[in-house]
Each structure stands twice: as C-alpha cells, then as structure tokens.
Amino acid sequence: MPLNHACPQAIDALLSRRSVKTRAMGEPGPDEKTLSLILAAGRRVPDHGKLAPWRFFVFTGDARAAFGRVIRDAYLAEESSPSEAVARSLEGFPCEAPVLVVLASTPSDAKPIPEWEQRLSAGAAGMAMLTAAHLLGHVGQWLTGWPAYSPGVARHLGLRGEDRIAGFLFFGRQKTAPSERPRPAADEVVRYFRSAEDVRG
C-alpha cells in the first residue's frame, strides 16, 4: 500500500464519526480481520523515538465475562465499603459491547523522550482505533471509570510502574442512528496567525 496516498472521499466519513453509547451497540462486533485492521491503525500513530508506548488488550467472547469477574474482585478487595450493586455493574462492564480493547499507556525510559509525549501517543492510538472502526462500518465508545484506576485490574493485565489504563474501547454495530452532540465553534478553539502583526499582538 502506498504511504500517504490521498483519499478525499474519506473526509466525509471522518467528519461524521460519532461515539455511540455501549447500550446502543449490538452484534456483530468486528470480526477477526476487521479487528486486526483496527489494531493496525492504532499502531501507526505518531510515536517519538519509536518506543511503542502503548499496549492493547483485546477481549471477545466469554473472555469479557471472565475479565468482568477480575474487575469485580478488584473492586471488592480495594474499596473499604463496597456496594454489591456496584460490584454487579462492574462485573458486567466488559460485556457491554461485542468487543473490548483495553488501551494502556506504557511509557518507556529506553530513550530520553518526555513522558508527556508518550502519553499523547497512547491517546492518539485510541483515537486512531475509534476512527478505523468507524471507517470499517462499526461504532465505538471510549470509557474509563473505576476499573481504569484500579491497581488490581492493572496488575492483572501485567501493567507496572508508570503504566496506566488509558481507557476501555468498546466496538460493535449501532442499533439506531445517534443524534449529533454539541461541538465547539471554530472561533472558540482556533486562532489564526496570518501576519507578523498577528504574532506581535
């Protein structure tokens, strides 16, 4: 495949991407071939130093329910006054959509690349996967919540040190078309500098 080939028709798809709540997702999720493309997109993001400071943990089928039990047990062990209702909800969390990818930020000290840049690369990986899923006819949602900050859940995934769970990326098919959400106007978040006078202020 040629690199950086133009694809103007893709801009409409890019500008129509919309996160879909997991409760509005259904089967089928991405099949193995489609999922491999989504993950490949996640590995092609900017990565200063070529450190690959991210990891993807993929849960499908009954592995999702087994991971849910890991989350429940971590919650019961870590909270001083755990709620049975919350424990049940967390147990079902990984099963809210057909496919779950846990995105981890795993900064490396192998090269003198600032940690902040490595964290940004992990965020870019998450966005790339969401976009790829959209382009391939699926929908996604990026969630965090209690499990993202649990030491026990992180340990179960083999994370250590400064590694962090950046989010839970759910993928499936949308049951109904989502409505648009408010977006900031360009003049609220964009500033142009078109001349030296603009820069001087």
CATH no. for residue 137?
3.40.109.10
Give Cα separations from 47 to 41, 50, 63, 108, 125 (angstroms).
Answer: 13, 5, 30, 12, 10
Residue 136 lies inside a defined structural domain of this protein: yes
Q: How confident is the model at residue 43 (pLDDT cuts 50, 70, 90)?
A: very high
Query: At residue 1, does pLDDT exceed 80?
Result: no
Find the domain containing 48 and state its range. 22-59+99-175
Higher pLDDT, residue 25 or 1: 25
pLDDT in tens, 69-78: 999 999 999 9
Q: What is the pLDDT of residue 201?
A: 76
Question: What confidence tier does 9 reach under pLDDT thresholds 50, 70, 90?
Answer: confident
Residue 188 lies in a domain: no
Does 132 reside within a domain?
Answer: yes
pLDDT bracket for residue 2 (50, 70, 90): confident
Q: What's the pTM value of the predicted model, to 2 decimals?
A: 0.94
**Total count of domains within the chain:** 1
- Residue 122 falls inside a structural domain: yes
Nearest-angstrom CA–CA distance, 197 and 190: 18
Q: CA–CA separation, 133 vs 141, rounded Å?
A: 10
Find the helix packing angle between 32-42 and 115-135, rounded to 10°: 150
Exposed/middle/buried for residue 196 (C-beta within 10 Å: 0-12, 13-18, 19+): exposed
In-domain check, residue 199: no
d(CA 106, CA 165): 9
Q: Note whether residue 84 is domain-resident.
A: no
- Would you state the pLDDT for residue 13? 87
Residue 6: count of CB within 10 angstroms of its CB:
7
